[in-house]
Amino acid sequence: MHELAFAEEIFHCVEREARRHNAVKIRRVRLQVGQYSGVDPASLSFCLEAISAGTIMDGAAIEMMESRPEWICSTCGGFPGDSEALSACPNCGGALEYSAATDLRVQEIELDDDDNQT
């Protein structure tokens, strides 16, 4: 549904990093797609491919990992992992909350920078 809007924001984010690092080519973009983000990976791929044609991101490998809902600590923000059985955060004793994996994140970008400039 809103994959094109997400693709545009991802592109802006990548473009900004490319400028910051004097990149000449983007090799890989790794995304984390929340299971409940409402984003369809296939449609997002399609949109990304379409808008990166002829740009610095053209041909970049797009990797998507699905993130699932998990427990997070409401106090320290830690992820106690597989904690169905836990009643409190093992690090700080804070209350655990269920995080619904509704985000879409750009995890990392692999780029080629301009050797001549540095």
Positions in the binding site for Zn ion (CB under 5 A) = 73, 75-76, 78, 89, 91-92, 94
Minimal distance in Å, beta carbon 104 to another protein? 5
Long-range contacts of the stretch 13-22 (C-beta < 8 A, 24+) = 13/106, 14/56, 14/57, 14/60, 14/106, 14/109, 15/55, 15/56, 15/57, 17/109, 17/111, 18/56, 18/57, 18/109, 18/111, 21/111, 21/113, 22/113, 22/114, 22/117, 22/118
**Site for another protein (CB under 8 A): which residue of 6, 52, 67, 96?**
6
**Site for another protein (CB under 8 A): which residue of 9, 58, 66, 97?**
9
Size of the site for another protein (CB under 8 A): 26
91 interacts with, out of another protein, Zn ion, none, CB within 5 to 8 A per kind: Zn ion
* Region 34-63 residues binding another protein, contact defined as CB under 8 A: 36, 38
